[in-house]
Structure 1
Amino acid sequence: MKISIIMSVYNGENYLDESIQSILTQTFRDFEFIIINDCSTDNSLHIIEEYLEKDDRIFLINNKVNLGLTKSLNLGIKRAKGKYIARIDADDIALLERLKIQYDYLEKNRDVFLVGSGAYYVDENGKIITTSKPLTKTMDIEKKLSILNCLHHPTIMFRHEGFMYREKFVYAQDYDFYLRLLSSKKNMSNISEPLINYRINPNAISWSKQSKQKYFALKAKEFYHQRLKYGKDEYDKFDPNKILLIDVENSTDEFVLKSEIEAKFKISKFQDVRTLCKKYFKNYGFFNKIAIYYLLSFAGKRFFDSIRKVLFS
C-alpha cells in the first residue's frame, strides 16, 4: 500500500459527495481511503456507506460519540497501512493528479518528510476566489513556521513514521504538528502548483472558531520555543479547557474580538461584524483597523466579492 488518505467528517453532507469523488477518481490508484465519520447527525454516514459498497479502497471508522478532528485523525493514522499519509477535508476537492504529483515528489526527495501544495481558494459554490502561492524552499518554510502557519493542512502528504497529532490541541493541531516536526529536524516543503480546491466554508472550524484556533496556535508556538530553549515543552501541564471554555459570544477580550471580527468579515457575516465592532469600540476605543472593518461591512456583498482576492491572498 503506497498512500493512506485520511478524511474526518462531521456533518459534511453539503460537499462530501464531491470531495470523496475527487479522491476516488485520482490518476494514482494505489491507495486506501480512510474516512472517519465523527458521529454526524446529517446524511454524511449514508453518503459514505454508499461509496463503501462501490469501492473496496474505502475503510470506514464510525465514531459512536463525537471525538473531534484531532482524535479522529489519530484513529485514521493508527489504522493506516500506507507508506505515505495524505490529508483531505470533507469540503475540499483534490485535483486529478494531486496524489501522483506528491507521491513522485516524496519518492524523489528522500530528505523531505512532508510536502504540501498550493491551493485554489473557492467559495461555497466552487467559484475560484484566488490562488495561494506557498513558500516552497525548506529554509523559507522553517523561518515562516516559527512566526505563523504556512502549510495548508488539507494539502499535506507525509511519511508514515509514527508521528501523531497531540490530542490536547483541539484546534491548530496541524500547526503544533508542523512545529514538532521542525523540532525533530524534519524537512518540509510545498509544491507551488495548486493541488486542491480549498473551500472558504463559513461552518468550517478554521472560520467558525477563529479566536480559539488562534489561542491554540499561540500555545503551539510557546511550546516550540520551550523545546528550542530547554529541549522539552510543558505540554503535559497544558489545560486546553482554559481556551475551550472561553465564552466567545460574550467575551470582551481584545484578542478574541479582533479575531472574531476578522473571521466574520471574511465569511460575509456583516451584521455580526457590526455587532462585534461596536463592542470593541465600547471597550477599547476607535481603532483604525477595526473601524475599517465596520465601515466596509456596510458596502454590501457585491463590493465584498470584488475584494475577496485581496483578503485571501
Structure 2
Amino acid sequence: MVDLIPADVRSRLRGLRLVTRRAVGSHGLGLHQSHSRGAGLEFAQYRAYEPGDELRQIDWKLYARSDKFFVREAERESPVAVWILMDASASMGQADATRPDYSRLDAAKSMAAAIAHLALDQGDRFGFMALGDGGLTLLPPATGPRQRDRMLLDLLKIRTSRTFAQDNQLGPVWERVGPHDLVILLSDCFDEGAIGLAEKLAAAGREVLVIEMLTVAERDFPFDGGYRFRDPETGEELLADGAALRTEFLARFGEARERLRQRLTAVGIRHAVHVLDEPVDLPLRRLFSAHDAAEYA
C-alpha cells in the first residue's frame, strides 16, 4: 500500500499528541498515556479475577484448564473520536506550476493520514468524511491497524467533485459527529459551504479545527507577463498581466484571509494555514504543539 506519510514527517510525529480543550474523563483524546483496559471490543490481555469483577468477563474455558479465575480485558474505546473532514471540491485539485503533480488534495490526504497515525498511536478512534457534491465518502470512527488501512484505501480513491457538498448531502455529519468529538476540517476555505459547516458544528458545541490549504502561488503570486487565470469551480476566466495584478491580488487575498480568521475565531474555531511547499505536519504542530512549531520558523 502507498505510504501517504513522508518518512521525515513520520519521524517528527513521534511525541506529538492530539489534544482537545475539553476534559472528557480518565481516558479520552489526549488524556490517556496508554490504552485503557475494560469491557471493550478487541481482546487485550488476561488478569487475575478480583472481587467486584463481572462474572461474564471470566474466561470459563481457561478456568476449566487451569482451575483459576481469569478475566478477559479488552481495549476500552475512548469517549472522543477524531473526525477528519476533507473538502473535495474542484479547487482542492489545484497545484502549483512548479509541482503540478502535487495538489491541495494530495497534501490533505497526507495530512489526514498523519492525523490518523497520531490517533492510532494514542489509542483514539478516528473517522473520515470526504465532502463533495459528487457524493460523500464516509468511514465511521474506530481504532486499530485495520481502521488505518481502511482509511488509507479510501484516501487513495478520493477525487475532486465540482463543488463542496450541498446541505442536503450533509446529513451524515450531523448524525455521526458526537458532542465530545474533535473535528478537523481540511479545506482551502474558498467555498462558503465549507466555512458554514465549520461554523455550524462549532455553534452546536463541537470542537472544530480548520486547516486552510493554500498554493504557493496564492501566497507569493509569482506571475509575470500575460496569464489566463481560471476559477476551477465556476470556469470563469481572467486575462491579465501577472506583474500588474500582484500588489492588488496580495492585498485583497490577505484581506479575505483575515476576514476568514476573524469569522472562525468568533465562534471559537482554532485555525492554521498550510502552504504546499511546507511539511504537512507543520499545521498539526501549530495547533497541538506551539513549542515544536518553532523548529520550522
Q: Same fold (TM over 0.5)?
A: no
Q: Determine which structure has more spread, i.e. the larger CA radius of gyration.
A: 2
**TM-score, length of structure 2 as denominator length:** 0.28
Greater per-residue helix proportion: 1
